[in-house]
Amino acid sequence: MSTTLHFHKYQGTGNDFVMLDDRAETFDAADHALVRHLCDRRRGIGADGLILLRNHPEYDFEMVYFNADGHLGSMCGNGGRCTVAFARQLGVIETETHFLAADGPHEARIDADGTVHLRMQDVAGQQPLEGLGVFLDTGSPHVVRLQAAGTLAELNVFAEGRAIRYGELFHEKGTNINFVEAPAAPGQPWQVRTYERGVEDETLSCGTGVTAVALAASQHGATSPVHLRTPGGDLRVEFQTQPDGSFQHVYLIGPATRVFEGKIDVA
Ligand SMILES: N[C@@H](CCC[C@H](N)C(=O)O)C(=O)O
């Protein structure tokens, strides 16, 4: 017997999500095949991930995030901004919120123009990776690799990212990989392309990824706020660097857009 599922589709700088209002907790979060199907761009709705908005007794709501491969993911920054916009659309919040995600509590606010300011968890310092770049955990694991000037546009992010993601350093748990080009002139943005674990492809943007890039860029002279350009659009990251090399008051700032809503038949 098939049932009908009502969904909303959101995107944040081109990182797109199926959003489900699951305040009644009717969605089976253990049904990985269903999540995979809904994210399938040919047979389902199509998205980089799926997010359940659920009630929580101590927060305005809980965000439950799945990667497109059907498995629960860690924190998703673009998805977090989209969930805040979705919560406002549903009337769960007004302009400010305190919600729970996989990596813990988050605060956020929405400006009149729809820009969402999402506070991320504090981030421990970065770890150098011999010959590769640096590693940071911004709620999700990220490698940041600096590219030579003028090489990012032509880089095969899928092949290079996949080799690192499944390489001997990370193969069990995997990681996301951000390839970065520093600004060619003052005032220009850092450019970022990301291979995403769980999507297992390049996505148009990754929020926890650009956050990792901004923090890593501070070691190359960048100061808060850092402006970043992804293939899907521009984002801004604000932060405070602590004397021990960790980062606090980290904010990911950018748009979150409702694209459409609809119904899909599921087996
Ligand atoms: N697109 C996300 C990152 C999602 C997490 C990642 N795919 C993982 O599970 O490692 C973002 O915007 O942060």
**Does any ligand 1 atom lie closer than 6 A to the CB of residue 15?**
yes
Active-site residue, 82 included: no
What type of residue sits at position 91? G
Indicate which residue of 206, 214, 237, 250 is catalytic.
Answer: 206
CATH code of residue 203: 3.10.310.10
The yes-or-no verdict on residue 2 having pLDDT over 90 is no
Report the distance separating Cα 30 and Cα 17, nearest Å.
18
136 shares a domain with 110? no
155 shares a domain with 57? no
**Does any ligand 1 atom lie closer than 6 A to the CB of residue 140?**
yes
248 shares a domain with 144? yes
* Residue 160 domain-assigned (yes or no): yes
Q: How confident is the model at residue 129 (pLDDT cuts 50, 70, 90)?
A: very high
Report the distance separating Cα 186 and Cα 222, nearest Å.
10
Mention every residue, 6+ apart, whose C-beta is less than 8 A from residue 260: 8, 9
**Choice from 50, 172, 196, 251 to test ligand 1 binding pocket (greatest atom count within 8 A of CB):** 196
* Residue 122 domain-assigned (yes or no): no
Domain count, the chain: 2
Please report where in the chains the tokens 């996505």 appear, as a residue: 203
**Choice from 208, 210, 215, 230 to test ligand 1 binding pocket (greatest atom count within 8 A of CB):** 208
Radius of gyration of the chain (CA): 18
pLDDT, residue 171, reads: 79
Q: How confident is the model at residue 267 (pLDDT cuts 50, 70, 90)?
A: confident
Taking residues 80-103, report their average pLDDT.
98
* Residue 55 domain-assigned (yes or no): yes
**Does any ligand 1 atom lie closer than 6 A to the CB of residue 34?**
no
Indicate which residue of 35, 53, 76, 237 is catalytic.
Answer: 76
Taking residues 22-28, report their average pLDDT.
98
197-255 per-position pLDDT tens digit: 999 999 999 999 999 999 999 999 999 999 999 999 999 999 999 999 999 999 999 99
Mention every residue, 6+ apart, whose C-beta is less than 8 A from residue 50: 17, 18, 19, 20, 35, 38, 39, 65, 66, 68
**Choice from 66, 84, 176, 203 to test ligand 1 binding pocket (greatest atom count within 8 A of CB):** 176
The CB-side HSE value for 198 (13 A sphere, CA atoms) comes to 25
Mention every residue, 6+ apart, whose C-beta is less than 8 A from residue 93: 60, 61, 84, 87
147-196 per-position pLDDT tens digit: 999 999 999 999 999 999 999 999 779 999 999 999 999 999 999 999 99
The yes-or-no verdict on residue 266 having pLDDT over 80 is yes
Q: Measuring from atom 4 of ligand 1, which residue has the nearest CA?
A: 76
> In which domain, by residue range, is 155 found?
127-254
Report the distance separating Cα 15 and Cα 98, nearest Å.
22
Cα 121 to ligand 1 centre (Å): 14
Q: Measuring from atom 3 of ligand 1, which residue has the nearest CA?
A: 76
79 shares a domain with 182? no
The yes-or-no verdict on residue 1 having pLDDT over 80 is no
Report the distance separating Cα 74 and Cα 93, nearest Å.
23
183 shares a domain with 198? yes
Report the distance separating Cα 130 and Cα 140, nearest Å.
21
Cα 144 to ligand 1 centre (Å): 14
Q: Centre a 10 Å sphere on the Cβ of residue 59 and count the other Cβ atoms it contains.
A: 16
Report the distance separating Cα 12 and Cα 85, nearest Å.
10
238 shares a domain with 133? yes
pLDDT, residue 119, reads: 98
**Does any ligand 1 atom lie closer than 6 A to the CB of residue 206?**
yes
pLDDT, residue 121, reads: 98
* Residue 121 domain-assigned (yes or no): no
Report the distance separating Cα 75 and Cα 162, nearest Å.
20
User: What interface predicted TM-score (ipTM) does this complex get?
Assistant: 0.92
pLDDT, residue 172, reads: 78
Binding-site entries = 15, 67, 77-78, 176, 196-197, 207-208
pLDDT, residue 50, reads: 98
Q: Which atom of ligand 1 is nearest to the CA of 140?
A: 10
